[in-house]
Chains A and B, each alone.
Chain A
Amino acid sequence: MHEVDMTKALIQTLQDWWQAQPDMPEIRAVHLTIGQFTCVEPASLQFAFAAQTQDTELAGVALRIHETSLIAYCHSCQQEYRPAIGQQYACPTCHAPLDDIRSGRELKIDHIEYRQPASVARESSRPVSPS
């Protein structure tokens, strides 16, 4: 349900970015990193994004979600481990509580993939593949 609100924020970010570009590039895809240990359901996000962008200038933009799994770090054992979500979060070796989370809490807009005429390509942009 909150995926709808998150998608609104995402679309706002995309629009702000787009309007700040001098030459109205064509956005092809937006890449997100979503951790497994968050309240976000990737499928709901996909659904909300498709629903909210249809009939707008963002229609057809692909939402690419990269999921990261929960990885914790135990300071006493000085090692990483993968908690069994829903069952066991403490360190399997020394049973210390879940402390540092190395991955799995991300809710990040990574990057935007866009197209524009090569002639207006700017210094700060990194070409991915010429076409």
Chain B
Amino acid sequence: MHQTFSAALEMNLLHANQTGADHNRAHFDQWGITCLNIMSSPGAGKTVLLERTLTALQPELAIAVIEGDMTTELDAERLRRSGSPVLAINTGRACHLDAQMVAGSLHVLATQYQPQSFDLVLVENVGNLVCPAEFEVGEHAKVALLSLTEGEDKPLKYPIMFREADCVLLTKLDLAPHLDLDLNQVIANVRQVNAQATILPLSGKTGVGMDAWYDWVRSQVQANSAGASPCYSPHPKSLSQSGRGTSNSPSPGLGEGVGG
């Protein structure tokens, strides 16, 4: 005789990704790095924002970029001119970055660079307004870009990314005079889904509004380094095997694939 049974799992569908993201974040914390996940629809201005940000903040912060927008190698090439390391992820046809992809970049960071020497990692996600916000990669904060050319209703039509964002950048502000658009309405629409986010209108082209963005980035780095626990290691066992991690040895344990 057979019986039908029910086994409760009560598990999140994104559980594996979440575990991977927590692991990546533990590495960032161990190295004293703040990680920002930069998301938007295609062409909202992520790469232009990163180019300017690298130039402006490099004198005070050591920055690496994880470039996930791989429709072409062009974005990575543009950013490499800044002199910062740019770790390109070949996303193929993926519609978002996930924790495992970023773990691969962390492995490169750990083996080919001195990860402890960086303050900030900027991740350019795949251009897509829908799902990148659901897939954490190990970031400390999420930044969503909305270009003013996209129209004021985007936060209402694609609310999840704007709800999850800690900072919303309204880009291409220089074009505002040419657009039939009410900036206050855009801000009000973002506010409907997110009461807390910092909202900053700016232009990566002219540079107007960028100073407030740099200040926000600085505040994130400061908040993180104040709360960082440098003794914590995501790989306690391998750390004890190799003695105390010396300052320029690559992270022990990363070789096993950071996803696990």
**A contacts, CB < 8 Å to B:** 1-2, 5-6, 9-10, 12-13, 17, 25, 28, 32, 37-40, 85-90, 96-99, 107-119, 121, 124-131
Complex Cα gap A13–B133 (Å) = 23
Complex Cα gap A25–B2 (Å) = 10
At the interface, is chain A mostly helix, strand, loop or mixed?
A: mixed
Assign chain B's interface to a size class.
35 or more
Taking CB atoms and an 8 Å cut-off, the chain B residues in 222-258 that contact chain A are: none
Taking CB atoms and an 8 Å cut-off, the chain B residues in 176-197 that contact chain A are: 191-195
Contact across chains for B11 and A115 when beta carbons are under 8 A apart: no
- The one of A1, A107, A113, A129 that contacts B93, using a Cβ cutoff of 8 Å: A1
Complex Cα gap A112–B107 (Å) = 36
Chain A nearest CB from B88 CB (Å) reads 20
Is residue B61 contacting chain A, with contact meaning CB distance below 8 A?
A: no
Q: B6 contacts which chain A residues (CB < 8 A)?
A: 111-114, 125-126, 128
Contact A110-B1, Cβ < 8 Å, known A2-B131, A38-B160, A39-B130: no
Contact across chains for A114 and B156 when beta carbons are under 8 A apart: no
Contact A6-B14, Cβ < 8 Å, known A13-B9, A39-B130: yes
Complex Cα gap A99–B192 (Å) = 9
Contact string, B6-29, partner A, CB cutoff 8 A, digits 1/0?
111111111111000000000000
Contact across chains for B9 and A111 when beta carbons are under 8 A apart: yes
Q: B7 contacts which chain A residues (CB < 8 A)?
A: 17, 111-112, 114, 124-125
Apart from A96-B195, A107-B12, A116-B3, what are 20 other A-B pairs with CB-CB below 8 Å? A1-B94, A5-B98, A6-B14, A28-B4, A39-B160, A86-B156, A89-B156, A98-B193, A108-B10, A108-B13, A109-B9, A111-B6, A113-B5, A113-B6, A114-B6, A114-B7, A115-B2, A115-B3, A126-B5, A127-B5
Contact across chains for B9 and A112 when beta carbons are under 8 A apart: yes
Contact A97-B191, Cβ < 8 Å, known A10-B13, A86-B156, A112-B9: yes
A-B contact pairs, 17 of them (CB 8 A): A1-B93, A1-B95, A2-B96, A9-B15, A13-B15, A89-B193, A97-B191, A97-B193, A108-B12, A109-B11, A109-B12, A110-B8, A117-B3, A118-B3, A121-B5, A126-B5, A129-B3
Complex Cα gap A110–B8 (Å) = 6
Complex Cα gap A12–B13 (Å) = 11
Chain B nearest CB from A111 CB (Å) reads 5
Complex Cα gap A108–B15 (Å) = 9
Complex Cα gap A40–B14 (Å) = 11
Complex Cα gap A76–B160 (Å) = 23
Look across to chain B and name the residue whose beta carbon is closest to the beta carbon of A32.
B13
Q: B142 contacts which chain A residues (CB < 8 A)?
A: none
Complex Cα gap A99–B6 (Å) = 35
Q: B15 contacts which chain A residues (CB < 8 A)?
A: 9, 13
Complex Cα gap A125–B9 (Å) = 12
Complex Cα gap A39–B126 (Å) = 15
Contact across chains for B93 and A127 when beta carbons are under 8 A apart: no
Complex Cα gap A20–B93 (Å) = 34
